[in-house]
With several copies, the nearest count.
Chain A
Amino acid sequence: MLPPTMVEESVRIISNERATDLYFRLVVQSPRIAPLVQPGQFAHLRILPLREALLRRPFSIFRVEGYTFSILYKAVGKGTELLSRMRPDDELNAIGPLGHGFTVPPAGGEMPLLVAGGYGMAAMYLLAQRSPQRGIVFVGGRRRVDILCEDEFRALGWDVRATTEDGSHGEKGLVTQPLIAELKRGTAGRKLFACGPTPMLKAVSRIAEEFNVPAELSMDEHMCCGVGVCLTCVIPISTGDGWEYQRTCTEGPVFDSRLIAWEATA
């Protein structure tokens, strides 16, 4: 048998602290999952005190250090709010690492341009860390508090360009503006990697097409099982003569932007 690519394990919380505003960083002890993680993969967490809400919640794996991994999450609803009240030594159940992540740019390959909105920044850190080539990260959010791990990208030696919609931090506007400006300076040997809200991904997809640069997008679809059995998380993927639904939890979450049949999305 092949070595496992995913496992289920009970993970212990090491720390769970507020980063900014509604964002928290959770670090868990996870000897079996952590070593397997590839950039762009996610963990499917069972928040045990959630009782009448049954499902696991998916979170991109943000960092991996030894036998721990961390996530960066925003408290938006019942699960994430309960999670934010959990304490060190509390247990969660995790299945991971899941999904098909980013293609790490090979040494001497394309120069990576990362585009991230909101918690999409979390999915990007590991890519930036494991890429032999440094590049540019475009991070964007509504307000200053939505810009998450800027310093961490800088510490890796990346060029960080921040934008906020209200101008409270970095350039005022959308994250795609400095991206377009950068691509106008040149596209050769560059590749886009994006993670964030669907409208942002759609915009990045259009920009990639316009500038004729390759792009990998981490798609944000609602999930249920996270492992490919329920067919909840599908998006339309071109098949040449049409399109079919593929699973973001299994075939994705990362897809080549040219394959996404945007015209068939809602």
Chain B
Amino acid sequence: MKSEARNPKPEVANATREVNLSVQIGGMRMQNPVTVASGTFGYGVEYAQLLDLNQLGAVVVKGIRLGPVRGNPTPRTVEVASGLINAIGLQGPGVDGFIKKYWPFLKELKVPTIINIWGTTVEEYAEVARRFDELGGVGALELNVSCPNIKEGGAQFGTDCKLLSQVVSACRKATRLPLITKMSPNVVSIAPYAKAAEEGGSDALAVTNSYPAMAIDIETRRPRLANITGGLTGPCIKPIAIKLVWEAAKAVKIPIIGMGGIQNSADAIEFMMAGATAVAVGTANFYEPQTALQVLAGLRDFLQRQGLTDVRQLVGSVRVEKV
């Protein structure tokens, strides 16, 4: 390090060096790799007063199916050690409601919007994809095949390789928008699922969704969630998510958006080193809405401190030769 500093060349380079933060997810360019996780950022507009959305890599909205969804009864979330369990039940306005209520705001953003979509049948997924393709101006579609909180839909597609590849192929046919498949963590090994999504035509993977979990109030003897079980998220799942990203990255060539408990730039860098091209902040938004921007600032500092010129140099850079 010291000897390098004595060399005048790197110093000059240092002063003028621009760090490239932009990454590519399928056909979608992100000005930086930091985005947010579906369901933890509403439809963007709710946070517009607290942070400048145009500084993000992309905005990701809450899961949308064809028609409006009422969602589960309450309580819908419960706090646990270093985490949260939720069973929202994918409440949402449906495609039309979304377009009417939220799209006018989102389409004016300078950064792409990723729309998280779901359905209860392969046909519904494809139809929702087609509707957003028609809409124009959407950044990418994220196929939620891994929501643990809905009986008919979501998770079963993410834990069955054949269904998964059917859903992805059907959406692939319905749209030319970049497709991101949001993977379920609840599998013996993620590799075959990752490959199924890639082969089905997915442009990227989002790893990972929440873990099936449960909590009981011992005084009332009732589950703490009206839905009985829910999905575990937050810092508590980070070590599991890192492992899944690492394994998925070894299995496929398409980029991965890493998520699960990211609270700061060190967490984000850990995901990138494990193999993620981009990262998403989820549960942390709920307690610190500035998290994504803090992650971005910390990431920039880290690259500069390490003398790196391109954020992509971090991707998959973990050194795993056994000693």
Contact = CB atoms under 8 A, between A and B. Distances in A.
B153 interface: no
B77 A224 contact: yes
B188 to A, nearest CB: 27
Interface in A195-243: 221-222, 224-225, 227-235
Interface string B112-147: 000000000000000000000000000000000000
Interface in A229-266: 229-235, 244-245, 250, 266
A227 to B, nearest CB: 6
Given A230-B77, A231-B71, A232-B77, A8 B289 contact: yes
B234 interface: yes
A166 to B, nearest CB: 13
Interface stretch (A53-61, A121-129, A172-180): A53-61
Interface string B96-115: 00000000000000000000
Nearest to A249: B46
Given A52-B82, A230-B286, A266-B226, A4 B49 contact: yes
Contacts of A95: 50, 289
B75 A222 contact: yes
A95 B123 CA distance: 42
B41 interface: yes
A231 B49 contact: no
A233 B77 CA distance: 9
A56 B226 CA distance: 22
Contacts of A233: 74
B57 interface: no
A142 to B, nearest CB: 14
B210 interface: no
Interface string A79-122: 00000000000000101000000000000000000000000000
A222 B284 CA distance: 18
Nearest to B44: A229
A7 B283 contact: no
Nearest to A232: B77
B76 A54 contact: no
Contact of B73 (A4, A250, A266): A266
Given A6-B49, A6-B50, A229-B42, A54 B84 contact: yes
Contacts of A227: 42, 46-47, 50, 289
B235 A54 contact: yes
A5 interface: yes
Contact of B49 (A7, A225, A266): A7
Interface class of chain B by DSSP? loop
B91 A245 contact: yes
B290 interface: yes
Interface in B273-314: 283-290
B228 to A, nearest CB: 13
A74 interface: no
B46 A232 contact: no
A191 interface: no
B42 A52 contact: no
B39 interface: yes
B280 to A, nearest CB: 14
B32 interface: no
A222 to B, nearest CB: 6
A46 interface: yes
A235 to B, nearest CB: 7
A229 B79 contact: no
Given A46-B287, A229-B40, A229-B41, A8 B50 contact: yes
A243 B323 CA distance: 17
Contacts of A221: 74
A7 B62 CA distance: 23
B49 A56 contact: no
B52 to A, nearest CB: 11
A225 B286 contact: yes
Nearest to B82: A52
A54 B46 contact: no
Contact of B88 (A56, A231, A250): A231
Interface of B: 39-42, 46-47, 49-50, 62, 70-71, 73-77, 79, 81-84, 86, 88, 91, 226, 234-235, 283-290, 323
12 contacts: A6-B49, A54-B83, A93-B288, A225-B286, A227-B42, A228-B46, A230-B77, A231-B62, A231-B71, A231-B88, A245-B91, A266-B74
Interface of A: 4-8, 46, 52-56, 93, 95, 221-222, 224-225, 227-235, 244-245, 250, 266
Minimum-distance CB pairs A-B, first 3: A229-B42, A225-B286, A228-B46
